[in-house]
Amino acid sequence: MIDKEKVRVFMLRMKEKEDGFYAENGGRIKELVSLCKASQGEYRYASHGSGSWATTYSDQFIDASLEIYMLLSTPGLFSPTIKLSELFIEAGILSCRGATMDIGKVEYLYEKHLKDKIARKQIR
């Protein structure tokens, strides 16, 4: 059986880490979430015709999401996908098709738009 005191100490340490993270990065994350909010929703490249149904995310949205994701990737602190989804939902940020940015939508954003950019940044 897990000792309740050990669990309490672990939770306190995690809270201290999270508080320290937000003290250091909270302002920048708020700025980036605001940028995502301003550039959310449907985006079509100019090369898509007027009747095109193929929406995507704007470059500004992707770049701001990428920076947030990278910040949230602090080892041992958050699941960046879950936390990014929480931030987007709290801010009322919608997907490129107007849906709530739940975990599934953020996983899609990661797989289709962020993953390769993260890999390229880590190689440099």
- Inside any domain, residue 1: no
Q: What is the mean pLDDT of the chain?
A: 86
Spatial distance between the Cα atoms of 105 and 74, rounded to a whole number of angstroms: 21
Domain-located, residue 69: yes
Residue 54 lies in a domain: yes
Percentage with pLDDT > 90 across the chain:
56
* Structure confidence at residue 120 (pLDDT): 86
Residue 89 within any structural domain of the chain: yes
With cut-offs at 50, 70 and 90, classify the pLDDT of residue 61: very high
CB proximity list for 48: less than 8 A, separation 6 or greater? 54
Number of domains into which the chain is organized: 1
Task: Evaluate whether residue 10 is within a structural domain.
Answer: no
Q: Cα–Cα distance between 101 and 85 in angstroms, integer?
A: 6
| Structural domain span for residue 107 | 29-123
Asked if the structure places residue 67 within a domain, the reply is: yes
In the chain the first and final C-alpha atoms are separated, in Å, by 46
Q: If you average pLDDT over residues 49-53, what whole number do you get?
A: 51
Q: How far, CA to CA in Å, does 39 sit from each of 8, 50, 83?
A: 41, 20, 19
What's the whole-model pTM score?
0.80
Most confident of the ranges 7-11, 45-49, 72-76, 99-103: 99-103
Cβ contacts of 39 within 8 Å, gap of 6 or more: 58, 60, 61, 64
**Averaged over 5-12, what is the pLDDT?**
90
- The model's confidence at residue 50, banded by pLDDT at 50, 70 and 90, is low
Find where tokens 């301003």 sit: 38
